[in-house]
């Protein structure tokens, strides 16, 4: 479990996160939703330590991230997998080398064992015949799969996904969402997905927090989301004509 | 004030770069790769420029010495000293600041804007140490070889130009390049080239590492890297000349 306790984050004079507290549960796909510019990515990057927070605390399974020394932080990071918005694959490495990269850096396994693990992860994300291709030679959807395979290579406890559907067609988006959800269950990870895609919310949102202008305005499940009386959240959900239509049809 | 800001940030950046490498075997592999990319790939341009510059220096000196009392071998001597003292270290350094410096800044900058550096950080890897230290070590290691090759090719270019145009007979040129030879000039050039390699690799990496934005900013960082490296090369050329030759 990951817990955010009263997180504030400012860039110069601009306060982007204004006291966010929440819990991200283990074995669940936790979603952070909100409009562009609401502070979702800043929150996600603060949780993984890419941004230093101004005040508050972040706890990984009851251990304060901020109180950890560098060695403990480094150990913790090996339990973290992250899927970036643009995949962030290493251009100079092939698909297999990208997936093998964390194993090369943090294990003493021989090449055969590392390749075996890399191939397991590549097969798990249902990628075929792509081992020797470079990231520039595969599609955006395939790049996301490779990034997921790399993220799970070290069998992490925590998985962070920053807008995993960004730039993908709706069908591929669903495939990626389902993959993230399945992997979360299979490896019993604490997964946090940052998204503004309502299809993802309805597909995999087990625990959802809604961020608006740096504040948490709502928290609940996908089943609750349509019944909430909150103007900002309604504006966000029903910005999509499809969801507006569903609401009208359901009265 | 801006200069002090960059100096401070550069010092912090160097501390990160010289952190302990994550894994020795990976570090050694990366150094070999960087030697190939930064050093061997620069060999062609260094040889072409050295050959032509050696030829031009020889011909210009020959055309400007038209007094019969000055012996022809002086041309060889002047060409040798110009190449050893200044050309093969400083001018080649400036050329490599353009080629290697822009390459490093744009590579690291692109990795920054595409979040590849963040990905390394998330994995618990020191990105500055992992990406940049092998480049610095490789370039500092390979540049003496490039400098010595440049010296040889430059002097040969001068010999060919002098002989083929008939301005400096071959035996005179060869006598000139041996006349009053001071081996310390080679050491001086190598010391300078090593310092310049460090400047090019670290300053270019510094600008690339701190890029914020997109492709436009990567381009700007690349330009800044070349300009800043070139200015520092000229400054350190002056300082080292005063320290080593005075």
The answer to whether the CB of B208 falls within 8 A of the CB of B107 is yes
Does A75 sit within 8 Å of B124, measured CB to CB? yes
A111 touches chain B (CB under 8 A): no
In whole angstroms, give the CA distance from residue B185 to residue B213. 45
Smallest CA–CA distance, residue B23 to chain A, in Å, is 6
Smallest CA–CA distance, residue A225 to chain B, in Å, is 32
* Chain A: residue whose CA lies nearest to B131: A90
- Residues of B with a Cβ under 8 Å from any A Cβ are 22-23, 26, 110, 114-116, 118-119, 121-125
What rounded mean pLDDT belongs to chain B? 94
A113 touches chain B (CB under 8 A): no
Summarize the confidence of residues A59-76 as an average pLDDT: 90
Mutate to test the interface with B, among A83, A84, A136, A149 (most CBs of B within 10 A): A84
Residue that is written with structure tokens 């998330």 in the block: B122
* Chain A: residue whose CA lies nearest to B126: A74
Does B122 sit within 8 Å of A106, measured CB to CB? no
Nearest to A82 by CA among A199, A164, A16, A7: A164
Mutate to test the interface with A, among B29, B115, B127, B129 (most CBs of A within 10 A): B115
Summarize the confidence of residues A144-162 as an average pLDDT: 93
Encode pLDDT of B189-206 as tens digits.
999 999 999 999 999 999
Encode pLDDT of B121-180 as tens digits.
999 899 999 999 999 999 999 999 999 999 999 999 999 999 999 999 999 999 999 999
Please count the other Cβ atoms lying within 10 Å of the Cβ belonging to residue A164: 23
**pLDDT for A251 beyond 70:** no
The answer to whether the CB of A42 falls within 8 A of the CB of A9 is yes
Encode pLDDT of A202-241 as tens digits.
888 899 999 999 999 999 988 888 777 888 888 888 777 7
**pLDDT for B11 beyond 60:** yes
| Domain residue ranges in chain A | 1-79+159-251, 86-155
Encode pLDDT of B181-190 as tens digits.
999 999 999 9
Summarize the confidence of residues B43-60 as an average pLDDT: 96
Nearest to B229 by CA among B94, B124, B65: B94
Please state which of the four CATH numbers 3.40.190.10, 3.40.50.1220, 3.40.50.300, 3.90.870.10 is assigned to the domain occupying A1-79+159-251.
Answer: 3.40.50.300
Contact list in B for residue A80 (CB cut-off 8 A) is 122-123
In whole angstroms, give the CA distance from residue B130 to residue B18. 10
**pLDDT for A77 beyond 80:** yes
In whole angstroms, give the CA distance from residue B138 to residue B132. 10
A75 touches chain B (CB under 8 A): yes
Nearest to B100 by CA among B226, B233, B227: B226
Nearest to A177 by CA among A151, A189, A190, A195: A195
Range with lowest mean pLDDT among A122-126, A199-203, B94-98, B218-222: A199-203
Contact list in B for residue A102 (CB cut-off 8 A) is 123
> What backbone torsions phi and psi does residue A80 show, to the nearest 5 degrees?
-110, 130
> What backbone torsions phi and psi does residue A9 show, to the nearest 5 degrees?
-145, 125
**In this predicted complex, what is the ipTM?**
0.86
Residue that is written with structure tokens 């093998």 in the block: A100
Q: What is the pTM of this model?
A: 0.88
Summarize the confidence of residues A170-196 as an average pLDDT: 91
Query: What pLDDT band is residue A245 in, cutting at 50, 70 and 90?
Result: confident
In whole angstroms, give the CA distance from residue A32 to residue A207. 9
In whole angstroms, give the CA distance from residue A17 to residue B37. 43
The pLDDT of residue A190: 95
The answer to whether the CB of B79 falls within 8 A of the CB of B163 is no
The pLDDT of residue A250: 66
Encode pLDDT of A112-137 as tens digits.
999 999 999 999 988 888 999 999 99
Nearest to B74 by CA among B62, B86, B83: B62
In whole angstroms, give the CA distance from residue B230 to residue B239. 14
The pLDDT of residue A198: 84
Chain centroid to Cα A106, Å, comes to: 22
Rg (C-alpha) for chain A, rounded Å, is 19
The answer to whether the CB of B208 falls within 8 A of the CB of B108 is yes
The pLDDT of residue A101: 94
The pLDDT of residue B135: 97
Query: Three-state DSSP class for A156?
Result: coil
């Amino acid at each position: 479990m990951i817990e955010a306790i009263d997180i504030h984050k400012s860039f110069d004079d601009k306060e982007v996160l204004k006291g966010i507290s929440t819990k991200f549960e283990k074995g669940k796909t936790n979603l952070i939703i909100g409009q562009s510019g609401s502070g979702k990515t800043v929150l996600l990057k603060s949780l993984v330590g890419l941004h230093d927070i101004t005040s508050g605390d972040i706890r990984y399974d009851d251990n304060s991230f901020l109180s950890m020394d560098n060695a403990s932080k480094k150990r913790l990071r090996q339990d973290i997998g992250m899927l970036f918005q643009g995949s962030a694959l290493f251009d100079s490495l092939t698909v297999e080398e990208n997936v093998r990269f964390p194993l090369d850096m943090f294990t003493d396994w021989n090449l055969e064992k590392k390749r075996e693990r890399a191939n397991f992860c590549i097969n798990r994300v249902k990628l075929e015949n792509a081992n020797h291709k470079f990231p520039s030679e595969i599609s955006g959807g395939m790049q996301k799969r490779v990034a997921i395979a790399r993220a799970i290579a070290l069998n992490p406890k925590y998985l962070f996904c920053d807008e995993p559907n960004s730039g993908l067609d709706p069908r591929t988006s669903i495939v990626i969402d389902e993959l993230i959800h399945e992997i979360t269950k299979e490896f019993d990870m604490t997964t946090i997905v940052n998204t503004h895609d309502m299809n993802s919310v309805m597909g995999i949102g087990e625990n959802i927090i809604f961020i608006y202008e740096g504040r948490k305005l709502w928290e609940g499940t996908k089943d609750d989301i349509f019944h909430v009386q909150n103007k900002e959240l309604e504006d966000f959900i029903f910005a999509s004509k499809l969801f507006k239509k569903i609401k009208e049809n359901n009265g | 004030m801006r200069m002090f800001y960059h100096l401070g940030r550069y010092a912090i950046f160097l501390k990160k770069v010289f952190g302990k490498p994550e894994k020795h075997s990976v570090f050694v592999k990366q150094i070999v790769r960087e030697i190939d990319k930064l050093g061997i790939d620069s060999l062609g341009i260094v040889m072409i420029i050295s050959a032509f510059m050696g030829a031009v220096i020889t011909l210009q000196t020959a055309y400007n010495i038209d007094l019969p009392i000055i012996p022809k071998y002086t041309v060889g001597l002047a060409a040798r000293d110009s190449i050893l003292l200044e050309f093969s270290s400083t001018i080649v350094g400036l050329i490599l600041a353009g080629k290697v410096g822009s390459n490093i800044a744009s590579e690291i900058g692109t990795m920054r804007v595409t979040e590849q550096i963040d990905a390394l950080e998330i994995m618990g890897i020191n990105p500055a140490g992992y990406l940049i230290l092998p480049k610095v070590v490789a370039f500092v290691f390979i540049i003496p070889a490039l400098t010595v090759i440049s010296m040889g090719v430059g002097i040969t270019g001068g010999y060919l130009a002098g002989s083929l145009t008939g301005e400096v007979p071959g035996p005179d040129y060869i006598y000139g390049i041996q006349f009053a030879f001071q081996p310390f000039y080679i050491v001086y050039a190598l010391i300078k080239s090593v310092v310049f390699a460090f400047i090019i690799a670290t300053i270019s990496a510094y600008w690339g590492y701190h890029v914020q934005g997109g492709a436009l900013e990567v381009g700007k960082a690349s330009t800044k890297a070349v300009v800043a490296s070139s200015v520092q090369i000229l400054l350190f050329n002056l300082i080292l000349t005063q320290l080593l030759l005075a």
